[in-house]
Chain A
Amino acid sequence: MQLDIKDLNKSFWSHGQRVDAVRHFSLRVASGSLTIILGPSGCGKSTLLRLIAGLDTPDSGTISLDDRPIDRIPPEKRGIGLVFQEDSLFPNMTLEDQIRWALSNKTKPRFSVEQLLDMGGMTALRRRYPHQLSGGERQRGAILRSLAAEPKVLLLDEPFSRLDAPLRDALRREVRSLFRTTQTTAILVTHDQEEGMALADQLVVMESGRSLQAGTPQSLYAFPTNALVAGFLGRANIIVAQAEGLFAQTVFGPLPIHRPAQGPVRLMIRPEHFELLKGEQFLITDKEFRGHDVSWRLISGELEVLVHTDWEQDFRPGQRVDIRLRRPAVVLEESSG
C-alpha cells in the first residue's frame, strides 16, 4: 500500500498559545518499505502519526492510500495501525488475548495467534498480563498485536526509546526483519539517528512541523541540504566560505566543493572526511581515543573543527597541523535555523 501525504497542516492551542504542530508536510511512502521520520522531541512527529492514523483531523492537506483519499474515514476503518511509545497494551488482557482480539475482525487472518507469537519469540509469555512483562516485551507485544490486525500501513511512535541500548539494537533488527517477512509498509518516528540510519529505506528529517529533507539514509548523510539535517545525522562541521566555481575560499585556504557555486556559501564537512598533516594552521586542543576511531578538536583563530581519523594518525594535543579534505565539502542549499 502506498501512502501519500500532501501538504498536511495542523495547529492547536496549548496554554493559550497557538502551536503549529505540522506545517506543509508532504511525504510519499512506497509499499512494503520502512520510512523513518527523524527529529528532535517536540517537532511534531507524534501529531503527524496521529493525523495519519485518523485520531486527529488535519486543518488542511490530504492523505491517500493507493491514490484514494482517506481523510473522511474514521480511524477504526482506515486500516492504519499505531504503536505507541509505551503503555498501549490493554491492562486487563493476557498477551495472547490481545492478539486474538486484534485478529477477531478478520475472516481469513493471514497469521494465526501462534504464528505471531512465534515470530516475536513470545510464545512462552502468551498468558502473561502487561504488568508481568518487561518494557521490551511489552513493546514487542504491542507490535505483534498491531501486525495481527494486518494494517495497510503500520505507524510506530518512538517504539524503542524507553528501552536500554542493547535491547534496542536487538529489537530493532527483529522488527525490521519482521516487517520484511510480513511485507508491511511502515513509518517509524524516532529521535535516535542511529536507529534512523540503520533501519530506514527512506529517511525523513522533521523539525518544527516541517519536513526538511527526505531520501535514502546515505543521501541524507552525505548530502544534507541544510545544517539542521546535517547535524541531526551525525557530527558535522559547518564552515562559511566564498564559493568560486568548484572551489570555495575558507579562512584556511580553498576547499573543493561538491557542486559549482558562486558567492557566500555554507559548507558541511563530516569529521571523517578530513585528514591531518603536519602543518601550522590548526592547533590540536583535544584528542579522544574512541576505540574505532580518534576524535580531534582543532582550532584556527575563531574556527573550531572536529576531525575523526583512524588511530594511525600520531599527533598530540598542543601540536599544530594542517587539514586536508578527502572528499569535496557539501554546499548547504538553504539557510535554516
Chain B
Amino acid sequence: MTIGERNRFRFPVWGVVFSLLLALPLLFFLLRLMERQTADFFYVLFRPKTIQLVFNTLSLILAVLILCTVLAVPIAYLIGRRDFRGSRWVTALLPLPLSIPGYVIAWSLLSMSGESGIIKDLFGFSLPSLRGLVGAALAMSFYCFPILAINMYQGFRELDPRLEEAAKTLGKSRGERFWQITLPQLWPSMLSGWILIAIYVLSDFGVPALMGFEVLASAIYTEIITSYFQDGAFALTLLSMTMTLILLVAFHTGPHRPQRRLARAADLARPYSIGNNTAWFIVFFSLAPVFATPLVSLGYWLGQPSTWETFGTYNYLVPALFGTLQFALPGTILGSLLALAVGLISRYLKGWIHELPGRVLLLLYSLPGTALALCWAVFYLQLFRPLYQSATGYVIALGYLSASLSLGPVRTALHAQSETWTDSARTLGKSPREIFVRIVWPGIKPGVVSGFLLSLGWIIRELPLAVLLTPLGARTLSLAVFGYTVEANYAGAAPYVFMQMALGLSLGLLSSLRRTRDAA
C-alpha cells in the first residue's frame, strides 16, 4: 500500500462497523449523562479547581511516563536483545506487578516512609513522606512499567540488526547509533506503551487518592457516583475524554511504514551475550525496589495472627481462584480477538476511519473504573436487560477492557509484518483468509500471546467492573480482596492478594516458557 493513498471507492464498512460496536456503550452512557446535564457546564469546566485537577493529572502522567521508561527500557532491552543466564526468569517476573492491586503498593510506600514507618523501625531514619505527586507517581509506575516493558520487548525483538551494523561500519558511536537508528525503530512500540500508561493514569483515582494527590478522575468519580444531579459529570467526563484524544493524537505514530527486513533479529545468529554480572546488576537495581515494595506490606500483614484467624474461619480461596479464572480467561480471549480484529483493520485497510476502532477502545479504557462499570450497567439495563449482571455481560465488558491492553503488542507484531508478503500471496491467488492463516498469524502469534498475557494479569485484579457487573454470588479474588479492604481489614485481604500475585507469576512463567520454545 502506498503511503498516504486515499481510497475513494470502497465504503469503509469494517471501520464503521467496529467503531460503532466498540463505541456503543460509551455513546449511550454519554447520552445518559447529558440528560442529567444542568446549566452549569462551563462553570464546572473552568472552575479553578478543575484547572488545578487538570494540571495535577498532566503532571502525574508526565512523572509516571518518565519513571516507567527509566524502569522498563533497560529490562526490555536486556530480555529482547541480550542473552544471559536466567533471562527467562526476568521475563517470567514481568507481568507480576500488574496483578498486584494498586492499594498494596500505595500502602507499602506509605508504611515505609514517615515517622512510624517500617524503615524508621528497622533503620532508625525516616524517609520523607511520599504523599502527593511523588508517592502517586512512584506507586503507579511500579505496576505500570510492565506494560511498557512488554510492549518494548517486542519492539526490541523486531529490531533489524543489519541497520545497526551498517551504522557501526560508518563509524557512528554507540550513542549516535542509539538515537538515530535504534530509537526510531523502537518508537512505535514505545508510543503504544506510553499511550496505555498515560490513559490508565488518566483513569485511576484510587492510588492517587491514597497518596493524597487529587486528579481529574477523583472529581469524575465524585460527580458520577455520588452526586444525584450530576451536573458536573458530563462536563468532566468530556474533559477527560478530550484529554485522552489529545494524548492519542500526540502519541500517534504517523502513517504506518512497514519495516522491510530480511529476517527477524530472532531468526538470525543468536543475540550476543552480555556478561551475566552486568545483566543481573541492572536487573536487580531496576526490579528489586519494585518487587520488594509490595512484599514489605504483604509480609507484614501475613505476619499478623488476625489474618490467619479470619482466614481459618471464613475462607474461600479456591472458589475465588476458579471464579477469577472463569471470567478472566474468556474475557481476555475475547479481548485478544477484538484487539486482533482492530489491529488487522487498521493495518490492512486504508483510510482514517480504520484507525477509529482502536481509538474508541482507548477512550473506553480512559474512564475511571467505576464510571466504566456504571457505563456498562446503564447500557445493559437500557438495551440488553438479560445481559445485566450476567456472566456473559461481565465477560463482554472484560473483553473490551482487555482489548485495549492487548492492542499494543498486537499492533507492534502487525507492523513487523512486511506488506510484500501479503501482496505476494495475493498475486499467488490466495484469499485473505488463507493469507491470514498461513502467513500473518504465524508471524504475529508471539505478539498476540504476549498481549494476551499482559491483559490477563490486569484483568485478574480488575475490581470496579466485577463489583457492579458480576452475577450474584460470583466469587473472584479481587472481590474477596475488596470485601476485606472496604472494612479496612488489609490483613485479611493479604492471602487473596498473594493468590493474585501467584497467578500473575504463573502467567509470567508461561510466557517465558513460550519464549524458550520460540527460540528453539
Contacts and interface: CB of A to CB of B under 8 A. Distances in A.
Contact of B263 (A77, A82, A83, A131): A131
Interface string A221-255: 00000000000000000000000000000000000
A102 B438 CA distance: 12
Given A13-B6, A131-B268, A92 B427 contact: no
A57 B9 contact: yes
Which of A47, A74, A92 counts the most chain B CB atoms within 10 A? A92
A112 interface: no
Interface string B233-265: 000000000000000000000000000111110
B38 interface: no
B429 A79 contact: yes
Given A55-B423, A57-B9, A92-B442, A47 B2 contact: yes
A218 interface: no
B116 to A, nearest CB: 59
Contact of B5 (A12, A54, A146): A12
A83 B427 CA distance: 9
Which of A76, A105, A129, A131 counts the most chain B CB atoms within 10 A? A76
B424 A82 contact: yes
A86 B162 CA distance: 15
A134 to B, nearest CB: 11
Contacts of A149: 427-429
Nearest to B350: A56
B168 interface: no
B3 A90 contact: no
A215 interface: no
Given A12-B4, A87-B262, A75 B418 contact: no
A55 to B, nearest CB: 6
A181 interface: no
A86 B262 contact: yes
B431 interface: yes
A82 B429 contact: no
A105 to B, nearest CB: 5
Contacts of B443: 91-92
Nearest to A142: B424
Contact of A84 (B7, B263, B420): B420
Contacts of B3: 14
Contacts of A131: 262-263, 267-268
Nearest to B431: A76
A53 interface: yes
A138 B443 CA distance: 19
Contact of A13 (B5, B426, B442): B5
A209 interface: no
Contacts of B24: none
A130 B268 CA distance: 11
B425 interface: yes
Nearest to A84: B420
B262 A76 contact: no
Interface in A317-334: none
Interface string A47-61: 100100111110000
A88 interface: yes
A291 to B, nearest CB: 33
A84 B420 CA distance: 7
Contacts of B502: none
B27 interface: no
A290 interface: no
B36 interface: no
Contacts of A92: 439, 442-443
Binding site of B, secondary structure by majority: helix, strand, loop or mixed? loop
Contacts of A146: 424, 427-428
B13 to A, nearest CB: 15
Interface string A115-132: 000000000000001110
A53 B424 CA distance: 10
Interface residues of A, number: 41
Contacts of B261: 87
B189 to A, nearest CB: 19
Interface in A55-101: 55-57, 74-84, 86-88, 90-93, 101
A292 interface: no
Interface string B392-428: 0000000000000000000000000010110111111
A85 to B, nearest CB: 8
Interface in B423-454: 423-432, 438-439, 442-443
Contacts of A78: 427
B427 A82 contact: yes
Contacts of B426: 53-55, 74-76
A266 interface: no
A149 B438 CA distance: 16
A188 to B, nearest CB: 15
A15 interface: yes
B182 to A, nearest CB: 21
Interface in B14-49: none
Contacts of B9: 57
B348 to A, nearest CB: 12
Given A75-B427, A131-B262, A88 B6 contact: no
B267 A102 contact: no
Contacts of A13: 4-6
Contacts of A50: 423
A56 B9 CA distance: 11
Interface in A121-178: 129-131, 142, 145-146, 149, 151, 155
Contacts of A84: 420, 423-424
B418 to A, nearest CB: 6
A56 B428 contact: no
B264 A91 contact: yes
Contacts of B264: 91
Which of A79, A83, A87 counts the most chain B CB atoms within 10 A? A87
B5 to A, nearest CB: 4
Which of A14, A79, A84 counts the most chain B CB atoms within 10 A? A84
11 contacts: A12-B2, A55-B427, A57-B7, A75-B423, A76-B429, A86-B262, A92-B439, A92-B442, A101-B430, A101-B438, A145-B424
Interface of A: 12-15, 47, 50, 53-57, 74-84, 86-88, 90-93, 101-102, 105, 129-131, 142, 145-146, 149, 151, 155
Query: 3 smallest A-B Cβ distances: which pairs?
Result: A131-B263, A82-B427, A88-B424
Given A91-B421, A155-B427, 7 more contacts: A54-B426, A79-B429, A82-B423, A84-B423, A86-B420, A131-B262, A145-B428
